[in-house]
Amino acid sequence: MFRKIVVPYDGSGPAENAVKHASGLVKSSTTRNCEITLVNIIPSIPSNPLVLDRPLRMKDGSTVLLSDYITQLHSEMQAHAKEALEKKKNDIEQELASDAKVRTVVAVGDSVADKIIELIEAEGADLVIIGNTGLSGISKLKALGSVSRAVSERSPCPVMIVR
């Protein structure tokens, strides 16, 4: 039924539930050779030289350029995202044995929703399973976060939104 499933994953509770739903769907499906793609989007580095060329005083008294500090922080964010995705990938592979291939993608972009849509189209996904809110600080009072709403409105394939 569904051969390519994209699951945006940021480590939040709803994202964890989205992964569980994807695994459950693969387990209950008679279709084999499914592929689950876990994706994490890292925000782009700002590019305003007037702001980034300023010195930043560190706690130890040293001074670094803000651009160097942000570049280092961005690299650490990417490494953390890759590590988290690989850990989740290993968990899914152990649970599903050989029922599905699991891939991970860390992408960089200005808009999380736009990058997810790009990935859905590039992968030729049959289904997206996404948490209703993520770690972006969206209020828990809202039923849908801005990313899940944008993905559900613009996705070329069905979208399952998980609480």
End-to-end CA, the chain: 23
Residue 55 has which token pair?
A: 């010195």
Tens-level pLDDT at each residue, the chain (163 residues): 789 999 999 999 999 999 999 999 988 877 668 899 999 999 888 777 666 788 889 999 999 988 888 889 999 999 999 999 999 999 999 998 877 899 999 999 989 999 999 999 999 999 999 999 766 554 444 445 689 999 999 999 999 999 8
Domains of the chain: 4-162 (3.40.50.620)
The model's pTM: 0.86
